[in-house]
Structure 1
Amino acid sequence: MSFKTYVIIILTVLITIIFMQNTDQVLFTLLWKEIFVSKLIMMLIVTVFGFILGVIVARPRKKKLIENESGSIPFEINQPETEDYLETKPKNNLSNEDRDYIS
């Protein structure tokens, strides 16, 4: 089993133990109404909302495609007629005098 599986099992056991130790009634105020609720239920609700929030935040995002100057997607397989998107070298804008000086 992977490390992630071990962590999930350990957290599940710890949360279950904590839930079973807190079964007494507590006063819970929701806006203007006061109600008596089991700690177990309140902790379960908070845990479920936290799990749902964690799944929403941790889900993978879609990758954005970057377009080049011509508006086509670079490195697209279905564009055999245009080969300019495969060129990765920057264009050399040096004058002949600059090339002679460098070499």
Structure 2
Amino acid sequence: MSFKTISIIVISVLVTIILMNNTDEIHFWIFGDAKIPKLAVLGFMFGLGLIVGFMAGRPGKKPMVKNYIENNEDEYIEPNTDKKDHLSDEDREYIR
């Protein structure tokens, strides 16, 4: 099993243990007093943390690069597809 799988299992077990040991009701102030189970508050905060962590951790969209001449946007520039080796003999020897 990979490290990611093991860490997900461990975190899931720890969250389950913590949530199941905190089932009593607490007085919670949300613009007024309310009696809410501690389980609901902890579960909501954990879920909110997962959502925020997922959104912060994923990579953003990369901008699409256009290969157009600046003055004439209708003319397309072909990308350089030359497979020629531009290394000198000295460079090739250094790489080896």
> Smaller-chain TM-score range?
0.5 to 0.7
1:60 corresponds in structure 2 to 59
Unaligned runs of 5+ in 2: 82-96
Displacement after TM superposition at 1:2 (Å): 1.1
Cα root mean square deviation, aligned:
2.2
TM-score normalised to structure 1 length: 0.64
Unaligned runs of 5+ in 1: 73-78, 88-103
Please identify runs of 4+ aligned residues in structure 1 that moved more than 4 A.
Answer: none
Paired amino acid for 2:23: T
1:20 corresponds in structure 2 to 20
**Greater Rg over alpha carbons, structure:** 1
| 2:3 counterpart of 1:7 | no
Deviations 1:66-87 (A, max 9, x none): 3456157xxxxxx7xx55x429
* Number of matched pairs: 77
CA distance in 2, matches of 1:34, 1:47: 22
CA distance in 2, matches of 1:29, 1:69: 59
